[in-house]
Amino acid sequence: MTDDEFWALIEGCRDSVTGEDGSTDMEPFRRRLEARLRAMSLEELAGFRPAMDAVGVYKPHELWRVVDPEGRAITGQDSWEAFGGWLIAQGREFHDAVLADHGVVLSRPFRYGDVYQGECVTTAADGIAMARTGIDLDDLFPDWFDGEGD
């Protein structure tokens, strides 16, 4: 899956579930994303994860300090991945603006409960593959992932 295909999928899930401020309502977004991913083949599901990882926001510590300056809310890798999922769910334009200028993230109000729902982006493809086959994407396509999800 290319970056453009990835973002087209995300933007399609955001369609009509955004507020006036541009923020994504995470619950309907999650339902739409899961429905679209369920319609994909296993190979397409496997392609979603590296595309997501390529645009993700895993460990840019400067952004972390802007989002949670006291280090009390986003406290570990799982929390940060959920935040990355939330940021992706906000759409390509906002995501790219935040990566270019971390302070932009403060222009869009977020509740930590919404941020933690961002996990739906980071785990959806794996969950759907597991429900369909009983096997992790890592095990279905070991050459693609080389144990990265273990």
CA–CA separation, 10 vs 115, rounded Å? 16
Q: How many CB atoms lie within 10 A of CB 94?
A: 19
Q: Which residues contact 109 (CB under 8 A, 6 or more apart)?
A: 21, 23
Question: What digits encode the pLDDT tens for the residues 19-48?
Answer: 877 888 888 999 999 999 999 999 999 999
Nearest of 94, 82, 149 to residue 120 by alpha carbon: 82
User: In degrees rounded to 5, what are phi and psi of residue 29?
Assistant: -60, -45
What pTM does this model have?
0.84
Q: Residue 86: what pLDDT?
A: 87
Establish how many alpha carbons lie within 13 A of residue 62's alpha carbon, considering only the half-sphere containing its beta carbon: 7
How high is the mean pLDDT of the chain?
83
Q: Residue 70: what pLDDT?
A: 63
CA–CA separation, 74 vs 22, rounded Å? 23
Per the DSSP assignment, residues forming a β-bridge with 24 are 18
Question: What digits encode the pLDDT tens for the residues 82-123?
Answer: 888 888 999 999 999 988 898 898 888 777 677 778 888 888
